[in-house]
Copies of this chain bind each other. A is one copy, B any other.
Amino acid sequence: MASIFGKIFTVSTWGESHGQAVGAVLDGCPAGLPLCEEDIQKLLDRRRPGQGKMTTARDEKDRVKILSGVFEGKTTGTPISFAVFNEDQRSHDYAEIEKWYRPGHADLCYDLKYGFRDYRGGGRSSARETIGRVAAGAVAMKFLKQVAGTEFLAWVDSIGQVDCPAVDTDKLTHEMIEASPVRCPDSDASAKMEAEVLAAKESMDSVGGTVRLLVKNVPATLGEPVFDRLDALLAQAMLSIPACKGFEVGTGFAAARMHGSEHNDEIYCDNGTFHTRTNNAGGIVGGISNGENILCRMAFKPTATISQSQKTASRTGENGELAAKGRHDPCVAVRAPVIVECMAALVLADLYLQQKRNCL
């Protein structure tokens, strides 16, 4: 059913890994926002593969085209259509995957669901689908930057057994994150993570990781009571990213070990504005942003497709083994931060526009 996300600021993505193109339609962006292809391209460049040993060897330039919705450098209020044409496809790599189901991969489920599947590179379950999300998320980010100064920073917090130490959220920058080949702003941890990824790659294996997200300058009041709580929509947004298996906000699972007297963030008023002294809530209370930084953490499982031989079954029900060829990321968490930022921006932009009409 509908590959649509959001209620007012809505994005609809389309495209398969090995089809002609991938893209998205963004509808509901207010008129008058300055926008050009370069605004989107710089985020896509952070997402794209072929950037070193840490990612898949597939080399895609991922040049985005804006096909509608922008006139004389500004959004017109009408749907913005993005397309990225696929280039370095090599479909022949995937012949064996037509027959054998990759363990941990969506192959089997797609066949059960639809009766057949586009077996080239995962089709719609490919990470290439996220291009459309990044394109739309880039606009969401630009919009929120303009109306509220909101900033999104996501980084790799752990890979395998290696953890990033606590980060100073006041000083963290995109430059610090992007300087690391694994997108971990702590240089010691980054070096160890790199080794972890390479070790996995060399043993024809993959490895999992976690990503943290920080959102600064969040307007209070975003999030709707009950089902469309801000944290509930962030959870959906994050779990909708391929390989994401867990989400927590603020102290998250650790909160389940705490007492109320420890966990509750003390409220104070300073010059007419309300703040909290601590931020165990991660900036969201009762499903609504309170104006503090949003903090959350996501778990990414290791890439399903590995080159090691694994036992599995075929479409026709034969039991056997598969050693997957093709080009794959050894650690999907490394490419996840920009997608995490963009999905969060889509959630916040939509709730921002919803909030505009909550009061007379």
| List of B residues within 8 angstroms of A319 by Cβ | 268-269
Binary interface profile of A, 273-293, with partner B (CB < 8 Å = 1, else 0)?
A: 010100011100111111100
Instruction: Report the bound CA distance from A291 to B264 in whole Å.
Output: 40
How big is the A interface, by class? 35 or more
Is residue A68 contacting chain B, with contact meaning CB distance below 8 A?
Answer: yes
Is residue A52 contacting chain B, with contact meaning CB distance below 8 A?
Answer: no
Is residue A124 contacting chain B, with contact meaning CB distance below 8 A?
Answer: yes
Residue with the greatest number of chain B CB neighbours at <10 A, chosen from A102, A104, A317, A353: A104
B260 touches A302 (CB 8 A): yes
B302 touches A205 (CB 8 A): no
The 8 Å CB contact of A21, one of B68, B300, B357, is B68
- Given A25-B12, A65-B20, A205-B261: A76 touches B267 (CB 8 Å cut-off): no
One of A54-62, A164-172, A183-191, A230-238 at the interface: A230-238
Binary interface profile of A, 69-94, with partner B (CB < 8 Å = 1, else 0)?
A: 10100101111110100000000000
A245 touches B248 (CB 8 A): yes
B318 touches A76 (CB 8 A): no
A-B contacts, 16 listed (Cβ < 8 Å)? A3-B224, A5-B227, A31-B113, A32-B116, A76-B116, A113-B221, A113-B288, A200-B260, A205-B261, A229-B240, A245-B282, A256-B299, A258-B301, A260-B305, A264-B304, A269-B319
Interface pairs A-B: 3 shortest CB-CB: A106-B286, A104-B264, A246-B248
